[in-house]
A and B are shown apart, each in its own frame.
Chain A
Amino acid sequence: GAGVSQSPRYKVAKRGQDVALRCDPISGHVSLFWYQQALGQGPEFLTYFQNEAQLDKSGLPSDRFFAERPEGSVSTLKIQRTQQEDSAVYLCASSLGEGRGYEQYFGPGTRLTVT
Chain B
Amino acid sequence: TQLLEQSPQFLSIQEGENLTVYCNSSSVFSSLQWYRQEPGEGPVLLVTVVTGGEVKKLKRLTFQFGDARKDSSLHITAAQPGDTGLYLCAGALSGGSNYKLTFGKGTLLTVNP
Is A bound to B? yes
Instruction: Decide if B42 touches A109 in the complex (CB within 8 Å).
Output: yes
Distance, CA A91 to CA B104, complexed state (A): 16
A101 interfacial by beta-carbon distance below 8 Å = yes
Instruction: Decide if B50 touches A91 in the complex (CB within 8 Å).
Output: no
Tally chain B residues at the interface, Cβ within 8 Å. 26
Tally chain A residues at the interface, Cβ within 8 Å. 27
A44 interfacial by beta-carbon distance below 8 Å = yes
**8 Å CB interface, B36-74 against A:** 40-45, 48, 50
Residues of B within 8 A of A91 (CB): 42-43
A18 interfacial by beta-carbon distance below 8 Å = no
B22 interfacial by beta-carbon distance below 8 Å = no
Of A35-43, A71-79, A80-88, the stretch lying at the interface with chain B is A35-43
Min Cβ gap A48→B in Å is 6
Residues of B within 8 A of A31 (CB): 99
B24 interfacial by beta-carbon distance below 8 Å = no
Residues of B within 8 A of A106 (CB): 35, 42-45
Instruction: Output the nearest chain A residue to B108 by Cβ-Cβ distance.
Output: A40
